[in-house]
Amino acid sequence: MAAPKRLLALALAAPLLLSACTTDSAGDGGDGGSGGSGGGAGAEGDLVFSVVTHGSAGDAFWDVVQNGAEAAGEDLGIDVDYQSDGDPQRQAQLIDAAVNQDVDGIVVSMANPDALQGSIEDAVEAGIPVVTINSGGGRSTEFGAIGHVGQDEAIAGQGAGRRLAEDGAQNVLCVIHEAGNIGLEQRCAGAAEGLGGGISTVQVDINDLPGAQSTIASQLQTDPSIDAVLALNSAVAAVAVDAAQDAGSDAQVATFDLNADVISGIQAGDIAFAVDQQQFEQGYLPVVMLKLYVENLNTVGGGQPVLTGPAIVDAENVDEIADLATAGTR
């Protein structure tokens, strides 16, 4: 009898111990903090902003957004809290949670605007300024957000398509790495527009890169007239380069988004260019915008989205950007 009781006590005490540790680290996070995590938001004049994105944990792209938001928080002395969930309903619930905590401002990425509409409108109604980021710029004002910072997926796709056309591509394979992601579909559609037709799509799974490589290789073998592969993710770009070699194809590879592999690929001439949406700005700028609004009622963009891209990284400018990408800011 004694042993189970002791174990039970341990099981109950463990969370309390855990919480003791986390209170400390929370205090560290909020420079000159508001006195631990207990009271939470809005204590004693310190601004607290919540950033709620649809990125899944560990996604390299969203890590840079988070870095941007946190860097801005540090520079401006604002407590920035970053949360994310790829499921639209759970993202909405995270926004509700931020509203309940009565934060001073909310930043939301809008992959699926319809699903977030209610929660964003609730935040606005509660008097909390909202800035939307990434996609969904068209609906931002309608929901009552004070501004939008992002890259329109379609416009970014068009930029990639035009560049591919300049490089002489005629038959482009657009690689979708996440089934059911609307933003990726919009990029391919935009690329088709920019190129003026001649785009086919293929579906791969981002969690199975070797499989993606063989799928791309098989497409290149089946249709030798494909002269360019457009990857929508930097990890896919790396395997697309290998796939072109496997298939003995001369197709050039272009991609969205940067990482170390893409940069060395551009430096080595294996990758023609990368469409960089400079997502660091999508984390940094909204924090600045919210601060300006909260303290001075300023708005940015005048009802139009503030575009962070597309910027093209190619052989000409890649060396300057290489170090920054390693540091997690590009």
Partner 1 sequence: MGAIAVFSFFAVQSEVFRSPRGIANWLDPASTLGIMAVGVALLMIGGHFDLSAGVMTGTTALTVGIVAVEFRQNLWVAIGVALVVALAIGFFNGWLVTRTKLPSFIITLGTFLMLQGLNLGLTKLFTDTVTVGGIDDVPGYTAAEWVFASRLEILGAPIRVAVLWWLLFTALATWVLLRTRFGNWIFATGGDEVAARNVGVPARRTTIALFMTTAAAAWFVGTTLAVRLTSVQANTGIGQELIYIVAAVIGGCLLTGGFGSAVGAALGALIFGMTQLGIPYLRWDADWFYFFLGAMLLLAVLANRLVRRSAEAAPR
DSSP assignments along 8-65, one per residue: HHHHHHHHHHHHHHHHHHHHHHSTT-SSSSSS-TTGGG--EEEEEE-PPTT-HHHHHH
Give the side-chain half-sphere CA count within 13 A for 132.
29
When the beta carbons of 25 and 222 are compared against partner 1, the nearer one is 25
Q: Cβ neighbours of residue 147 under 8 Å, at least 6 residues apart?
A: 131, 132, 140, 286, 289, 299, 300, 301, 305, 306
- 179 to 208: interface string for partner 1, x by CB under 8 A: xxxx--x-----------------------
57 DSSP 8-state letter = T
Q: How far apart are CA 10 and CA 148, in angstroms?
A: 48
Choosing from 7, 268, 315, 324, the residue that interacts with partner 1 (CB under 8 A) is 7
CB burial of residue 150 (10 Å; 0-12, 13-18, 19+): buried
Closest CA to 145 of 280, 279, 293, 284: 293
Residue 310: asked if its preceding bond is cis (omega within 30°), the reply is yes
Q: Is 231 helix (H, G, I), strand (E, B) or coil?
A: strand
Contact segment (CB under 8 A) with partner 1 among 36-44, 204-212, 213-221, 268-276 equals 36-44
Choosing from 15, 45, 127, 210, the residue that interacts with partner 1 (CB under 8 A) is 15
Enumerate residues 78-117 that contact partner 1 by CB under 8 A.
81-84, 87-90, 92-94, 96-98, 100-102, 112-115, 117
Is residue 323 a contact residue for partner 1 (CB under 8 A)? no
When the beta carbons of 188 and 253 are compared against partner 1, the nearer one is 188
When the beta carbons of 31 and 320 are compared against partner 1, the nearer one is 31
When the beta carbons of 11 and 297 are compared against partner 1, the nearer one is 11
When the beta carbons of 102 and 295 are compared against partner 1, the nearer one is 102
Enumerate residues 201-240 that contact partner 1 by CB under 8 A.
none
Q: Residue holding tokens 């944990």?
A: 57
Choosing from 32, 45, 58, 168, the residue that interacts with partner 1 (CB under 8 A) is 58
Is residue 4 a contact residue for partner 1 (CB under 8 A)? yes
Q: How far apart are CA 138 and CA 27, in angstroms?
A: 38
Q: By CB under 8 A, name the binding residues for partner 1.
A: 1, 4-5, 7-8, 11-12, 14-16, 18-19, 22-23, 26, 29, 37-41, 57-58, 81-84, 87-90, 92-94, 96-98, 100-102, 112-115, 117-118, 178-182, 185
